């Protein structure tokens, strides 16, 4: 988490700075991809719990621990590779009872769809995910959460409800 100017006497907002990438040249795709995102309270609480678990792991590893200033690490403090991340995500999904076939990429799609399904404007969602326009957000990432077309059933219910009176 980075630091930001204080919010009206409340201290700095917990946030994550998206300024670098895991891409080969370590830069983000576009200048709009560079952003600082406030974290929801649920994420802050989860990160605090994670810090506590990591402190225990650090003690368990002893001299083998390699401090690298990372938030998410292996049991020895080293950088996670793609296989580590996929394995961890599968385990979390299994524990949550939602199946094991989720990929990290799908989390981004889910984020966009949840925000959209709850009424957030596509322009704001596009800004949050770092897209330079709403086109990519709408065509690639946005998925209807309730793809069942209900208009016909709803109309029939109204028609028959009126005829039953």
Question: pLDDT 10s per residue in the chain (165 long)?
Answer: 444 444 444 556 888 877 655 545 555 566 666 778 888 999 999 999 999 999 999 999 999 999 998 899 999 999 999 899 999 999 999 999 999 888 888 888 888 888 988 889 989 999 888 888 888 888 887 776 556 677 888 889 999 887 777
Is 68 inside any structural domain? no
Q: Tell whether 143 is covered by a domain.
A: yes
Q: How many domains does the chain have?
A: 2
72: in domain = no
* 127 in a structural domain: yes
Tell me which residue range forms the domain holding 13. Answer: 1-39
Please provide the DSSP assignment of 114-164 as one string. Answer: HHHHTT--HHHHHHHHT-SSHHHIIIII---S--S--HHHHHHHHHHHHHT
Does residue 46 sit within a domain? Answer: no
129 in a domain, yes or no? yes
**Could you tell me if residue 2 is inside a domain?**
yes
């Amino acid at each position: 988490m980075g630091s930001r100017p204080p919010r009206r006497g409340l201290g700095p907002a917990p946030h994550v700075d998206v300024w670098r990438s895991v891409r080969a040249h370590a830069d983000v795709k576009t200048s709009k991809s560079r952003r600082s995102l406030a974290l929801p309270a649920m994420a802050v609480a989860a990160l605090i719990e994670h810090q506590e678990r990591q402190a225990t792991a650090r003690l368990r590893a002893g001299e083998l621990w390699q401090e690298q200033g990372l938030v998410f690490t292996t049991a020895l403090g080293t950088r996670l590779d793609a296989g580590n991340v996929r394995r961890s995500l599968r385990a979390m999904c299994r524990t949550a009872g939602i199946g094991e076939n989720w990929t990290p990429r799908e989390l981004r799609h889910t984020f966009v769809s949840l925000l959209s399904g709850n009424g957030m404007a596509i322009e704001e969602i596009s800004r949050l995910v770092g897209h330079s326009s709403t086109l990519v957000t709408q065509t690639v990432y946005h998925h209807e959460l309730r793809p069942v077309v209900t208009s016909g059933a709803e109309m029939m219910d109204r028609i028959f409800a009126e005829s039953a009176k």
